[in-house]
Amino acid sequence: MRRPNILLITSDQQHYSMLGCQNAKLKTPNLDSLAAEGMLFDRAYCTNPTCSPSRSSILTGMYPSHHGCWSLGTKLPEDVPTLPGILRQNGYKTALIGKAHFQPTASTPQYPSLETLEKGQDFAFWRQFHDVFYGFDHIELLRNHTAEHWVGHHYAMWMEENGFKEWRKYFFRPTGRMRQKAMGRWKIPEKYHYNTWIAQRACAQLDTYKKDGSPFFLWASFPDPHYPQLVPAPWDKMYSPSDMELDPFSFKEHEKNPPYFREVFKPFPNFKPYRESGYGIHGLYRHLYRPKELKRQLAYAWGMVSFMDKYIGKILDRLKALEMDENTIVIFTTDHGDLFGQHGFRHKCLFHYEDLLRVPLIVRYKGFTPPGVRSDALQSLCDLAPTLLHRCGIEIPPQMQGFDQSAVWSGKEAPARPWAVCENRHEPHTLDLRTYIEPRYKITVHEGHAYGELYDLQSDPKEHRNLWDEADKLPLKAEMLCRFLKAELQKNGEEETGFTDGGYTLRIAADGADANDGLFQTESRENMWQNPACLQIKTRLLLACLNDRLKNEPIPMPRIASS
C-alpha cells in the first residue's frame, strides 16, 4: 500500500462561514469543489483564537499549554516533536510555503526568532539558509498580512528576483512607503501578490515531488483574509458593502458578561488591570464601530477570500495534472475565526464566541472520505497531526493530545471525542480563559474570577444569553464544570484531580463515571456528590479546582512581543 501524500492549505483568521458552500453569496468555486469531493466539518474548533498558539497546535498535535507557544509574542520551542519532523523521519519530504508564525516578531539571546523584521530583511541570510525548520526540510516564508511592514523573507526576495524593484511602494512604513490603512484597494499588481507567489512556489514543489517519487507533506499557508482588509482590483469591488448583513447587537447582552466585555465600549476604556506583560492585548481596544464601516470591511474580506480561492485552485489543479490527487490527503482550514461586528466586536482574541473559535475544515482523501458529506462531528485542529500520522501508517507519539479522527473522516463512526477545548492564556494570569464545548452547551472559565460564560447553542445559537448566573441553570453549570474538568484530565493523561477548600474536599476522576467522583466534608467518609443540598458547594469547588489548575500551569517563557 502506497503511503499517502499530504497537502495542507490554510488561510489566516477566516470566519467559518466564509465559504461558498456555507454562504451562497460568497464565491469560492475551488474550495466548494474540494468540499463536494470530500467532507465538510461544520463543528471544527481551534485550540486558541490567536495565530502562533493555534498554528503550533496544528504542527504538534498538542494544546498551547503543552507545546509551549502559549500566547502571541512567544515561540514554539525548537525541540518539540512536530508532524513534519515525524514524517521526515519516516521518509517524507516536507515543505512550508507562506506564513509560519511559530516565532514572535522580537528576538532575544535566550529566545531567538527568525520571524523578526530585521531577520526578514536579511536576504543574504535567507539565500544561505537550508536548515531544517520545525521538521520542514524546505521553507519559503513571509511574515506580513497584506501591506504590513513585516514584509520580507522569501516573498520579498521573489519580488526582487522577478524584476519588481519598486515593491516597497506597496507596503507600509517604515519598510515601505505606503501610508497605513485598514481596508480598501491594494494597488500591488496581482502577479506580485503573495497569493501568486504561494501558488507558484507550491506548484514548483509539487513538480519536484513528482520527479522525486517520495511521499510528501506540503503546507501552503496563505495570510488572507487577516486584517488589514486590503485586496487588489477587481476583487476589491467584487462584493458591495450594501449587500453585507450584520448580526443584530444590543449592549444589553453584555450586562451579565465579564467586565472587560463592557469596558471596550466606553469612550475612554481602562485596560490597566489586565496589562501584565507590557505587550499588546488583542481585543482590548475601543469597539465603537459604525455599521457602514463594518460592512465595508466585510465586503473587502469576502473579496480576499475569493481572490485566495483562485490561487488555491491553481495548486489543486497542478496536483491533479501531475496525477497525484488520488493518493494525496488534502486539507483546508484556518488557524482561528474572526469577528465582524458580532456582539459588537471586531477582530480576534478575548471573546470566545463561535465566530472566533470555529474554523472551516474540509478534508478530501479520495477513496476514503465520502464525497459531499457534511458532518457536525466535533473536530479540533490538534486532531490533524495524529489523524494524519495514522493514515500514513506511523505510530502516534504519546505526547500528542489530539485524537485520531480517521474513523470519522471515513464517514463510518461517531466522533472520537464528544468535546472540544479552546485555551487562551493571552496574559500570564490577568487574561487567561478556557472554553469547553459540547454539541449543545459550552462553558468558559476565567482564571481567578467568579464570573464566566455558559451558553445553550441549541436554543441560543448566536450566544446572546449568558446562563452563568441564572439560578435555575445551576445544575447545568455544575455538570458542565465537572465534564470540563474530566476533559482536562483526559487531554493531559491524568487519572484524577482534587481540591480542598472551606472544609470540603472534591475528587474528580477522568473516566467520566459519576460513581468515581466525590464531595466530602473534612474527616468524613460520606460522599455528598449526589446531595442536592450541596449543589452550591460542589459548583464552587469545581470552579475553584479549574481555576487552581489554570493558575498553576507552567509558563515556559515570557511574552517578548505583541505578536
Q: Which of 84, 101, 82 is nearest to 13 (CA)?
A: 101
Q: Is residue 358 part of a domain?
A: yes
Residue 276 buriedness (CB in 10 A; 0-12 / 13-18 / 19+) = middle
pLDDT at residue 88, as a whole number? 99
- Are 389 and 446 found together in one domain? no
206-227 pLDDT, tens per residue? 999 999 999 999 999 999 999 9
Name residue 172's beta-bridge partners: 178
Domain count, the chain: 2
**C-alpha cell recorded at residue 508:** 474528580
- Are 272 and 367 found together in one domain? yes
Mean pLDDT for 403-413 is: 94
pLDDT at residue 355, as a whole number? 99
Q: Is residue 560 part of a domain?
A: no
Q: Is residue 417 part of a domain?
A: no
64-113 pLDDT, tens per residue? 999 999 999 999 999 999 999 999 999 999 999 999 999 999 999 999 99
Task: Name the pTM for this structure.
Answer: 0.98
9-29 pLDDT, tens per residue? 999 999 999 999 999 999 999
322-342 pLDDT, tens per residue? 999 999 999 999 999 999 999
Q: Is residue 284 part of a domain?
A: yes
Q: Is residue 259 part of a domain?
A: yes
- Are 386 and 446 found together in one domain? no
Q: Which domain holds residue 507?
A: 438-551
275-296 pLDDT, tens per residue? 999 999 999 999 999 999 999 9
Q: Is residue 444 part of a domain?
A: yes
Q: Are 418 and 428 in contact (CB under 8 A)?
A: no
Q: Is residue 427 part of a domain?
A: no
CA triplet 264, 63, 495: central angle to 5 degrees? 120
Give the CATH number for residue 203. Answer: 3.40.720.10
- Are 468 and 367 found together in one domain? no
Going by pLDDT thresholds of 50, 70 and 90, the confidence category of residue 353 is very high
- Are 41 and 183 found together in one domain? yes
Last residue of a domain, one of 395, 430, 461: 395
- Are 133 and 269 found together in one domain? yes
- Are 260 and 377 found together in one domain? yes
Mean pLDDT for the chain overall? 97
pLDDT at residue 523, as a whole number? 82
Dist. CA 425–CA 318, nearest whole Å: 40
Please tell me whether residue 56 adopts helix, strand or coil conformation.
helix
- Are 471 and 524 found together in one domain? yes
Q: Is residue 514 part of a domain?
A: yes
Residue 54 has pLDDT above 80, yes or no: yes
pLDDT at residue 414, as a whole number? 81
177-196 pLDDT, tens per residue? 999 999 999 999 999 999 99
Last residue of a domain, one of 369, 395, 421: 395
- Are 479 and 347 found together in one domain? no
- Are 123 and 262 found together in one domain? yes
Q: Which of 254, 255, 226, 236 is nearest to 340 (CA)?
A: 226
Residue 231 has pLDDT above 80, yes or no: yes
- Are 384 and 459 found together in one domain? no
- Are 386 and 470 found together in one domain? no
Residue 143 has pLDDT above 80, yes or no: yes
